[in-house]
Structure 1
């Protein structure tokens, strides 16, 4: 009842502000009225998806029943699809590519609607050669591995980073040194690389239950403990292993919980960097959105889990290597199947 009252008051406030400002508030009166009507029917599970080819199999699945009353709501360039999976009312939203889009979209979702939890899914690159294309991974922790302090040439690991003394940057997490990957056999006496090294940094977060403008730091963002525990029951699911009658994987894909996943605004098609992410961070799934969704959920204190199907071994190196173009649709369908099963388990 308190949550319902809070949203009603929010709606009244926005409606008043819209009237006073001549209808030029960020949310129009008509849209806010629709949001209030939708929230009366909540709460909802939020389902956040990067791209249309990953979202379409869910919306077209017989397991998804669109809301006949609302259908969808368009706002700020996004379309919020309302419906039901099993007994769970859901709002499905496509983010678009990358960390910024994923963060903005997830924040819109949890700000506008009564969302009790977030399920994020899609395809991902694979850093662990013990797994294969089509396998569905559920990491326990996610990190943004694209936030760097790039050290100037000549400085070493013991030299303080720029602005480190202010508390803005740290050497605690570790670094990637480019000269470790030199392949210049003619210059073995001088292995230095002008790119020097990059130091990984945690994100600054401002939780809703914290003090405004007082930052906290987060590198490894955990998924919800209950969600992760429940996901153990997904292991053993029967998944699709063939694109068609002639194109199949060497073995039937599996669902597996793993320790860590990594996100950055980078499509990793490089074996050396894939092996670095595995050895340095023990990351399995490599994508461009999950950590952003995780960070928004941390800030908003919303339960979160990410389910990522592997579409390629990043950088190749196996009999079934970087075949994303061939197996992306299979991986996306496997992710959808696991998400549907997970949401049904929540019921």
Structure 2
């Protein structure tokens, strides 16, 4: 049976998912803690990518090499940078780009050297299921999030997500990032610190990858304000609801 890996970057983003596993087993490998168990009758491995591209790549490689996962799904938070992408919205990634990769003039800016590509697309089929799960999860979770009325009408967007080893928290830096990537033909809707690395590893191994991110801030000067509270009160419940719906959809395949 196919094994699904559910990745999160931070412990707060993973909160509640471990408790929902049936017969959970804790395994330590590569200095990381993995939880293997079942959800809705299907084998699952939960893991924390940790923060940054190298850490995320190590975790993804371990999931594939040591646990033999058949697909990888990433949930978590990101800064919104695209037009109309607001705090409390959700972005489904269609692809990832490393916004801080620049080996020019040897290679075009953003292109990963020797790969011939800068855009790392997500798996179409898995992403379609994750998008459906997001719609179902957020619709069914209205009552659960009633106390967070300002996020009650969350919109779901699909598009490019930019990854880099920096926490973008400046309006001017975010604008420059968006402008540069738009000129390169990869306008981003959100920015974070892990997804492109996981996408590249999964592409190398031929493992389907999909990702969804809840927008915690607008990657501006207020990006750090109430971040822990947002993750605990909004992003984590969103992730639990979406993962629950996704596992239901996967069980029907």
Number of equivalenced pairs: 242
Tell me, in whole angstroms, the C-alpha distance in 2 between the residues paired with 1:342 and 1:49: 15
1:328 counterpart residue number: 231
Distance 1:326 1:249, change over 3 A: farther
Distance 1:66 1:278, change over 3 A: same
Residue 249 of structure 1 and its aligned partner are, at CA, apart by: 4.5
What SS does the corresponding residue of 2:85 show, helix, strand or coil? coil
What SS does the corresponding residue of 2:6 show, helix, strand or coil? strand
Tell me, in whole angstroms, the C-alpha distance in 2 between the residues paired with 1:80 and 1:262: 26
User: Which of 156, 159, 165 is the equivalent residue of 1:265?
Assistant: 165
Distance 1:283 1:83, change over 3 A: same
Q: Show CA shifts across 1:183-239 (max 9, x none).
A: xxxxxxxxxxxxxxxxx33124xxxxxxxxxx4222111111101222342326324
Contact 2:130 2:210 in 1 (8 A): no
1:284 counterpart residue number: 189
1:154 counterpart residue number: none
Residue 83 of structure 1 and its aligned partner are, at CA, apart by: 1.2
Does 2:31 align with 1:72? no
User: Which of 244, 249, 252 is the equivalent residue of 1:345?
Assistant: 249
Contact 2:92 2:131 in 1 (8 A): no
Q: Which runs of 5+ in 2 are unaligned?
A: none
User: Which of 224, 227, 233 is the equivalent residue of 2:123?
Assistant: 224
Contact 2:145 2:152 in 1 (8 A): no
- The TM-score with structure 2 as length reference comes to 0.85
> 1:1-347 maps to which residues of 2 (within 5 A)?
43-60=2-19, 64-67=20-23, 71-149=25-103, 161=105, 164=106, 169-170=107-108, 200-204=109-113, 215-233=114-132, 234-235=134-135, 237-238=138-139, 239=141, 245=147, 248-254=148-154, 256-279=156-179, 280=182, 281-315=186-220, 323-329=226-232, 330-347=234-251
Contact 2:80 2:191 in 1 (8 A): yes
Contact 1:133 1:249 in 2 (8 A): no
Tell me, in whole angstroms, the C-alpha distance in 1 between the residues paired with 2:142 and 2:86: 13
Tell me, in whole angstroms, the C-alpha distance in 1 between the residues paired with 2:240 and 2:175: 28
The one of the two structures with greater contact order (alpha-carbon pairs below 8 A, sep at least 6) is 2
Distance 1:255 1:227, change over 3 A: farther
Tell me, in whole angstroms, the C-alpha distance in 1 between the residues paired with 2:176 and 2:167: 15
Distance 1:109 1:123, change over 3 A: same
Residue 131 of structure 1 and its aligned partner are, at CA, apart by: 2.5
Distance 1:122 1:311, change over 3 A: same
RMSD: 2.5
Contact 1:49 1:93 in 2 (8 A): yes
Larger radius of gyration: 1
Contact 2:85 2:157 in 1 (8 A): no
Q: Which runs of 5+ in 1 are unaligned?
A: 1-41, 151-160, 171-199, 205-214
Tell me, in whole angstroms, the C-alpha distance in 2 between the residues paired with 1:232 and 1:244: 22
Tell me, in whole angstroms, the C-alpha distance in 2 between the residues paired with 1:283 and 1:89: 33
Q: Show CA shifts across 1:277-331 (max 9, x none).
A: 33423211211001111000000000000111111111058xx995424422212
- The TM-score with structure 1 as length reference comes to 0.63
Q: Show CA shifts across 1:2-60 (max 9, x none).
A: xxxxxxxxxxxxxxxxxxxxxxxxxxxxxxxxxxxxxxxx5411112111111122113
